[in-house]
């Protein structure tokens, strides 16, 4: 089928402002949006800028806004965004992050916020040359959060950063939960202190937009609420 | 711009990051990567990392080494395989200690499952050796190592693409790099450089590899006189999603999945009576193709894109959800089927390069049959060839290779740079890269790269694929040469400087073309069948003539071949049956 890609363009070398450009592509309904973008890049206009790598939803490179919904171009099939011949699909860069070129955004701030929650296991207790034990139940307690690919789709979908640019955002908070809920980690207090703030867990107002768009189906909002409960419990413990 | 470091690591997949953790603790280290580190293709690895922990049944590092040697059809260097499998055990514990969330046994230990070619007691039957984190083991390794690098404040230069290596007087002096964000060219002068740039599946049409897997490290080295070892051995994974090549991990068969032809027959019973569906990959891939060619594919039309079924419907929802969730997701997303209800249509997909930059067991690059070393030049991971995979890699041994040899290389570098002379600038080090880029950007009229890429991938897939013969490969060599000369006329459409992905992709295409040529020529000359290299015109393994590693030197438009001995000091080569 033939569809039109309506793509937001911006080249810092030449453009004052972004604009939209249309491309006609011949695609199969089961093609990925990424296939269509590659068709443009390879055979129509090599200057179109976007990131990509794995092409099957595991590396997090190609987060973008597709008909106003944040997601991965490689995990979005044409049939899910264009029902009929001649349909138009609008593609824009992710929100809340500075656009560097076309669909490429500057992820620095996103990664800084990730780093802020100390995204690594902290446990200085000695181990006797083997694994630390962890029951299957303990392991599953943080399972979904471990599959985050840091694609920033949730960050773009979240309405909070509009008013509150310092908000850590859904991905960083989900990763804080990932370590808070890991029975092997020993930095609970440190990490709770980081997220027990207005920029942290309390910034979340349960809009659920992140959960809706996450291509890894992480129950982000739920994990943030669990984190809020951990904060409360730890305070109750302190005061009792 | 010129930067000075003790150590430069090129690539931030599993191999690069592990090396970085070791090297950065003791030397001034920069990690350059054309992708953000966590976008590296290590993150796509699904099934597992092997180590004879013996957590669920008896196992030993020696059995593991033997399986590796036999799986590699005796082209494996055997002492290196012993190092791999002995150090595997501590390597996996280290990953766990650093936070990797492995699946667990009821006792809370790291759980293990079956994988192709891994056996107990020298081939008696399958053994549970693959440690795993659901079906995203590579993702977890990449995340864990990246997290540790954050903790240890490793310095990263993200989206910096290496385009050349500086070698002078037998030692490595640094690399030449283009920064994506600015288009600026940088020289990173260093005492030691490690290439960990991953695979190059993108020379083939159907592949499990990422767009970024363009073999930049091997290509850059080859152009500077470094030979490439055993490039004819390229692994086709038996089970890629039909048409797309997206990998369906061997873990599906490890958990009990079964391959079936159009009659519903479990055809592996005929090809590998002992290991069945868990035979090594070369054998399973050939078996599938043989079925398809005999009209036993699902459509039955004998065409090259006919397929077979991977049946996981009997595994139960619990196993699929807990142990294979991502794969189930791929099937739902890209095929619109749920593996609990319907078999998965699969076909072999180009997957893994056994060959690459020759190294010793410390990651040092070795440039000839005598074992001559280039001081300060190292390689590790898929782009390197130690060789622990020989003619065919066993599943789960690559992630292991990254960790064991990435670590060894990092440690050796840390020692080496202590006494190595300070990096000296080399005049006009970026001359070659500049000339190349200036040509691509000069605004002259010329074709774009899309068609050349397509033709290269189709040629390699059809003529240097699973089954090979002299006539096809001779044609392939000519066609690749023709594409290489057309490449000289290619021009970018984007002549800007910032985020010029057009330019960087065309540079990658140049790399792919060079590696295609080396692969095709190496394959054409090996007149035997061994592991993944299957010659229709030479169907037998020939140890008398061919028990040796290929060393291919790219010299301008020619490829010169030499050979070096295989270390068979532990096990004598035997016929390979399963
Ligand atoms: C789908 C899939 C599943 C797999 N599953 C398994 C499995 O279950 N078990 C197993 O053992 N193996 C598996 N493998 C194989 C294994 O994952 C790979 O061989 C391995 O991850 C490669 O790691 P690496 O560190 O060598 O390279 P990669 O992880 O590919 O990293 C390469 C790095 O080099 C950088 N780079 C490349 N070129 C340049 C350049 N010019 N300049 C700067 N940087 C550059 C990239 O940015 C990247 O950071 C799988 C492979 C695939 C494709
Ligand atoms: S939580 Fe989901 S949407 Fe957000 S960065 Fe991670 S994978 Fe992407
Ligand atoms: S290209 Fe990797 S997630 Fe889409």
Let me know whether A126 and A183 are in one domain: yes
Which residues of B does the annotation mark as catalytic? 281
pLDDT bin (cut points 50, 70, 90) of residue A117 is very high
Chain A residues inside the 8 Å CB shell of B211: 52-55
The 8-class DSSP code of residue B100 comes to -
Instruction: Kindly state the tokens that stand for A136.
Output: 């299957």
pLDDT for B30-76, tens place per residue? 999 999 999 999 999 999 999 999 999 999 999 999 999 999 999 99
Query: Does the pLDDT at position A41 exceed 90?
Result: yes
pLDDT bin (cut points 50, 70, 90) of residue A168 is very high
DSSP characters over B109-120: SBPEEEEEEEEE
| Cβ-defined contact of B330 to A56 (cutoff 8 Å) | yes
Domain-ending residue, one of A80, A105, A130:
A105
Residue of chain B minimizing CA distance to A40: B450
* Number of domains comprising chain A: 2
Let me know whether A205 and A120 are in one domain: yes
pLDDT given for residue B194 in this prediction? 98
pLDDT given for residue B70 in this prediction? 97
| Cβ-defined contact of B99 to A121 (cutoff 8 Å) | yes
Q: Ligand 3 center to residue A62 CA distance, Å?
A: 5
Let me know whether A120 and A227 are in one domain: yes
Query: Does the pLDDT at position B425 exceed 90?
Result: no
CA–CA gap between residue A111 and residue A150 (Å, rounded): 8
Let me know whether A132 and A193 are in one domain: yes
DSSP characters over A69-111: EEEEGGG-BGGGT--STT-EEEEEPPSSS-EEETTEE--HHHH
| Among B45, B408, B113, CA closest to B251 | B113
The 8-class DSSP code of residue B157 comes to E
Chain A residues inside the 8 Å CB shell of B155: none
pLDDT for B113-152, tens place per residue? 999 999 999 999 999 999 999 999 999 999 999 999 999 9
Let me know whether A207 and A96 are in one domain: no
| Helix and strand numbers, DSSP H then E, in chain A | 9, 7
pLDDT given for residue B246 in this prediction? 96
Q: Which string of b and e fits B390-410 if b means at least 16 CB within 10 Å?
A: bbbbbbbbbbbbbbbbbbbbb
On whether the CB atoms of residues A81 and A66 are closer than 8 A, the answer is yes
pLDDT for B392-418, tens place per residue? 999 999 999 999 999 999 999 999 999
Query: Which residue from A53, A101, A129 is facing B35, i.e. has the nearest CB?
Result: A53
Let me know whether A58 and A11 are in one domain: yes
| Among B107, B131, B4, CA closest to B59 | B131
ipTM value of the model? 0.97
**Strand residue runs (E) in chain A:** 2-9, 19-26, 63-66, 69-72, 88-92, 99-101, 104-105
Q: How much of chain A exceeds pLDDT 90, in percent?
A: 97
Report which of residues B107 and A129 the model is more confident about.
B107
Query: Which ligand is the nearest neighbour of the Cα of A209?
Result: 2
Which stretch of DSSP H or E encloses residue A140? Answer: helix A136-140
| Cβ-defined contact of B108 to A142 (cutoff 8 Å) | no
On whether the CB atoms of residues B205 and B461 are closer than 8 A, the answer is yes
Q: Which string of b and e fits B322-360 if b means at least 16 CB within 10 Å?
A: ebbbbbbbbbebbbeebbbeebbbbbbbbbbbbbbbbbb
Domain that holds residue A229: 108-239
CA–CA gap between residue B475 and residue B463 (Å, rounded): 8
CA–CA gap between residue B268 and residue B274 (Å, rounded): 10
Question: What is the position in ligand 1's atom list of the atom closest to the CA of B46?
Answer: 8
Chain B, 518 to 577: residues with Cβ < 8 Å from chain A are: none
Let me know whether A57 and A122 are in one domain: no
Let me know whether A99 and A131 are in one domain: no
Residue nearest to atom 1 of ligand 2 (CA): A171
Query: Does the pLDDT at position A240 exceed 80?
Result: no
For the segment A197-207, the average pLDDT, to the nearest whole number, is 98
pLDDT given for residue B426 in this prediction? 83
Query: Which residue from B210, B334, B450 is facing A43, i.e. has the nearest CB?
Result: B450
As a dihedral over the C-alpha atoms of residue B206, residue B210, residue B212, residue B216, rounded to 10 degrees, the angle is: -60
Chain B residues inside the 8 Å CB shell of A77: 333-334
Let me know whether A61 and A178 are in one domain: no
pLDDT given for residue A128 in this prediction? 82
pLDDT for B469-527, tens place per residue? 999 999 999 999 999 999 999 999 999 999 999 999 999 999 999 999 999 999 999 99
pLDDT given for residue B424 in this prediction? 81
Chain B residues inside the 8 Å CB shell of A217: 329
Let me know whether A114 and A229 are in one domain: yes
| B508 CA: distance to closest CA in chain A (Å) | 13
Return all residues near B545 (Cβ < 8 A) that are at least 6 apart: B527, B528
Residue of chain B minimizing CA distance to A179: B99
Domain-ending residue, one of A105, A122, A143:
A105
Residue of chain A minimizing CA distance to B247: A56
pLDDT bin (cut points 50, 70, 90) of residue B577 is confident
pLDDT for B205-218, tens place per residue? 999 999 999 999 99
Q: What CATH number does the domain containing A58 carry?
A: 3.10.20.30
pLDDT for A174-197, tens place per residue? 999 999 999 999 999 999 999 999
**Residues β-bridged to residue B535:** B468
Query: Which residue from A101, A104, A131 is facing B109, i.e. has the nearest CB?
Result: A131
Let me know whether A70 and A116 are in one domain: no
CA–CA gap between residue B91 and residue B126 (Å, rounded): 22
Q: What CATH number does the domain containing A141 carry?
A: 1.10.1060.10
pLDDT given for residue B486 in this prediction? 97
pLDDT for B10-37, tens place per residue? 999 999 999 999 999 999 999 999 999 9
Let me know whether A134 and A197 are in one domain: yes
Pocket of ligand 3, candidates A41, A54, A148: which has the most ligand atoms within 8 Å of its Cβ, to mutate? A54
Edge-to-edge strand ranges of the sheet holding B125-131: B49-50, B125-131, B112-120
Angle between helices B397-419 and B78-97 (to 10 degrees): 90
User: For residue B143, which phi and psi values (nearest 5 degrees)?
Assistant: -60, -45
Question: What is the position in ligand 2's atom list of the atom closest to the CA of A152?
Answer: 5
pLDDT for B259-310, tens place per residue? 999 999 999 999 999 999 999 999 999 999 999 999 999 999 999 889 999 9
Angle at B68 between CA B570 and CA B415, to 5 degrees: 80
**Strand residue runs (E) in B12-159:** 29-33, 49-50, 112-120, 125-131, 155-158
Chain B residues inside the 8 Å CB shell of A61: 35-36, 39
pLDDT given for residue B423 in this prediction? 85
Pocket of ligand 1, candidates B33, B44, B45, B278: which has the most ligand atoms within 8 Å of its Cβ, to mutate? B45
Domain-ending residue, one of A105, A137, A155:
A105
Chain B, 370 to 409: residues with Cβ < 8 Å from chain A are: none
Q: Ligand 1 center to residue A90 CA distance, Å?
A: 32
pLDDT given for residue B30 in this prediction? 97
Confidence (pTM): 0.97
């Amino acid at each position: 089928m033939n569809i039109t890609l309506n793509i937001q363009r911006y080249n810092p070398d030449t453009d004052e402002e972004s604009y939209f450009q249309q491309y006609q592509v011949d695609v199969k309904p089961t093609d990925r949006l990424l296939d269509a973008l590659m068709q443009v890049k390879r055979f129509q206009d090599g200057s179109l800028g976007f990131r990509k790598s794995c092409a099957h939803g595991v590396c997090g490179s190609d987060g973008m806004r597709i008909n106003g919904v944040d997601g991965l171009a490689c995990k979005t099939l044409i049939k899910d965004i264009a029902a009929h011949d001649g349909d138009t699909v609008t593609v824009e860069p992710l929100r809340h992050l500075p656009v560097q070129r076309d669909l490429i955004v500057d992820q620095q701030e996103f990664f800084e916020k990730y780093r802020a929650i100390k995204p690594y296991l902290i446990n200085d207790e000695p181990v006797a040359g083997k694994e630390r034990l962890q029951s299957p139940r303990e392991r599953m307690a943080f399972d979904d959060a471990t599959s985050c690919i840091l694609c920033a789709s949730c960050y773009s979908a979240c309405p909070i950063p509009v008013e509150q640019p310092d908000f850590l955002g859904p991905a960083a908070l989900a990763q804080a939960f990932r370590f808070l809920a890991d029975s092997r980690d020993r930095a609970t207090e440190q990490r709770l202190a980081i997220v027990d703030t207005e920029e942290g867990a309390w910034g979340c107002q349960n809009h659920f937009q992140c959960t809706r768009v996450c291509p890894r189906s992480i129950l982000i909002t739920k994990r943030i609420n669990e984190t809020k409960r951990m904060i409360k419990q730890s305070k109750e413990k302190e005061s009792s | 711009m010129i930067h000075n470091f003790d150590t430069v690591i090129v690539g931030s997949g599993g191999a690069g990051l592990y090396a970085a953790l070791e090297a950065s603790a003791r030397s001034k280290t920069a990690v350059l990567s054309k992708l953000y580190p966590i976008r590296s293709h290590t993150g796509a690895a699904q099934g597992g990392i092997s180590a004879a922990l013996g957590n669920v049944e008896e196992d030993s590092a020696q059995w593991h080494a033997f399986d590796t040697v036999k799986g590699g059809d005796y082209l494996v260097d055997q002492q290196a395989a012993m190092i791999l499998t002995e150090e595997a055990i501590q390597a996996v514990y280290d990953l766990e200690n650093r936070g990797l969330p492995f699946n667990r046994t009821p006792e809370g230990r790291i759980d293990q499952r079956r994988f192709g070619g891994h056996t107990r007691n020298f081939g008696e039957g399958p053994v549970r050796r693959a440690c795993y984190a659901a079906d995203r083991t590579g993702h977890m390794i990449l995340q864990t190592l990246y997290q540790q690098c954050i903790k240890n404040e490793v310095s990263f230069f993200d989206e910096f693409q290496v385009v050349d290596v500086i070698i002078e007087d037998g030692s490595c002096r640094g690399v030449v790099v283009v920064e994506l964000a600015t288009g600026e060219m940088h020289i990173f002068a260093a005492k030691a450089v490690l290439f960990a740039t991953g695979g190059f599946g993108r020379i083939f049409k159907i592949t499990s590899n990422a767009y970024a897997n363009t073999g930049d490290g091997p290509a850059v080295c080859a152009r500077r006189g470094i030979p490439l070892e055993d490039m004819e051995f390229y692994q086709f994974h038996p089970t890629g999603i039909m048409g797309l090549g997206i990998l369906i991990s061997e873990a599906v068969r490890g958990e009990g999945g079964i391959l079936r032809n159009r009659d519903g027959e479990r055809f592996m019973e005929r090809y590998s009576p002992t290991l069945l569906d868990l035979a090594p990959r070369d054998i399973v891939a050939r078996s599938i193709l043989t079925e398809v060619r005999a009209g036993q594919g699902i459509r039955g039309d004998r065409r090259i894109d006919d397929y077979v079924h991977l049946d996981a419907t009997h595994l139960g929802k619990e196993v699929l959800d807990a142990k294979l969730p991502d794969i189930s997701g791929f099937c739902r997303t890209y095929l619109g089927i749920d593996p609990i209800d319907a078999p998965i249509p699969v076909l072999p997909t180009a997957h893994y390069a056994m060959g690459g930059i020759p190294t010793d067991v410390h990651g040092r690059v070795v440039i000839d049959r005598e074992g001559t070393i280039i001081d300060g030049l190292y390689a590790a991971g898929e782009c390197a060839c130690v060789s622990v995979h020989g003619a065919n890699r066993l599943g789960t041994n690559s992630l292991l290779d990254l960790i064991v040899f990435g670590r060894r290389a990092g440690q050796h570098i840390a020692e080496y740079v202590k006494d190595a002379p300070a990096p000296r600038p080399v005049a006009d080090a970026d001359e070659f890269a500049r000339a190349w880029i200036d040509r691509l950007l000069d605004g002259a009229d010329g074709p774009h790269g899309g068609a050349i890429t397509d033709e290269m991938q189709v040629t390699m897939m059809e003529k240097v694929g699973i089954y090979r013969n002299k006539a096809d490969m001779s044609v392939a060599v000519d066609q690749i040469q023709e594409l290489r000369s057309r490449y000289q006329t290619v021009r970018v459409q984007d002549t800007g400087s910032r985020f010029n992905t057009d330019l960087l992709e065309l540079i990658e295409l140049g790399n792919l073309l060079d590696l295609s040529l080396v692969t095709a020529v190496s394959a054409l000359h090996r007149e035997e069948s061994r592991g993944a290299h299957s010659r229709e015109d030479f169907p037998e393994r020939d140890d008398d003539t061919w028990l040796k590693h290929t060393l291919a030197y790219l010299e301008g438009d020619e490829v010169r071949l030499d050979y070096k001995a295989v270390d068979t000091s532990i096990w004598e080569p035997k016929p390979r049956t399963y």
